Structure 1
Amino acid sequence: MASAKGDLPADFLATALPKGVVDVLKQGEGGAVFTSSRGNQSSWVRPDNALSVYTFHLIEALKGAANQSGDRLVTLGNVMTHLGKTVAQSARSLRQAEQTPFFDTATEDFPVAMLRGGKGLPSQPQSGNLPRVITNEEVVTPALAMARRSLAILEEQAAGFGKLQMPAHLRIELEEKRLEVANLEARLKDAHD
């Protein structure tokens, strides 16, 4: 069994990302590029061979391992914090090796997952008080920000085509995204009224 990404079968070739791929991936807004290790390091597999060290801790992070009680959303920052601490520790303790995740972001912190379907992590018991219910605004605001970013990307793609030359699938995606943004804006307006 493989213990690192370098221990590949004979018909596989270990390669680094081609030059400039990270730069291409982070073009535009709202992007984040994560890699499991730096280019000169191996990316280690856990001793049970079920998951890599990185994937194991990524799943933990998405489940709220770096969050505080009462949190309802996992943010990009929560994920980076958890991976930055745990991957290196696990690689050292499980494989006696160095593995440092790499993060390159071109955005502000934003939600990437909802904890327990939006119910959030259990809060510390507070003298019988009922838990706070997440507001419509807390859900809609990040969703609207992401929809607007997606719409901007689609509009940028569409600008490269003339009205008649734009592919049908792009026209459809653009219209659907405009409708999604309008619906979310209406929900947010209703939440303020």
Structure 2
Amino acid sequence: MLTITELDVPEAIMRAATTRSWGAKWLLGSMFSVRFDPHDSAEPKPLVQSTALLVGSADWRIETDEQVILACGDPHEYIADAIKILDGRTLTAITPISRGGDITFVFDDLRLHLFPGYSGNVVESLTGEEEPDTQEHWNFCLPCGDVFIGVSGTSVLVGQSSTLKWAFSRRWKMQGRNLHLLSDDG
């Protein structure tokens, strides 16, 4: 997997996100997606084969200069409907990634601020050894199959597969407090 500098990421994403956003959809927890590919056909391409932002394990909030509109800690029933506020907007800017892994996607007058909920410096592995944190906070998928993978700190990986792509390409259902995979045809 190739690692690119944090300065290359905003420019590359801005070149890919050429249409207004659409199809903002909550998946579960703090996970949601928003698409940027043309959607003039009756049957759009699968999410992970399109131009799309996938938000995974990052904390986030959507805000204006005056107020916070929506945040990852809001009730899920509220997020599921309110996340659609991102639909029909133009991605106008992306901030450079901060040392802590914060990145902001600007949609017209709204800011989607993503930030890790922890330092991400080191994670203890199952063997008890320390290793770098590579948990995926966000992905930006391109139709060619490439994906920018935002991990802790300023690192962004570029590859063809990711954990978030896998999760968003499946169908899930909550049953009580348990998550069940409905299909594995992604």
Q: Normalized against structure 2, the TM-score is what? A: 0.25
- In terms of Rg, which structure is larger? 1
Higher share of residues assigned strand? 2
Flag the structure with more relative contact order, 1 or 2, with Cα contacts below 8 A and sequence separation at least 6: 2
Higher share of residues assigned helix? 1
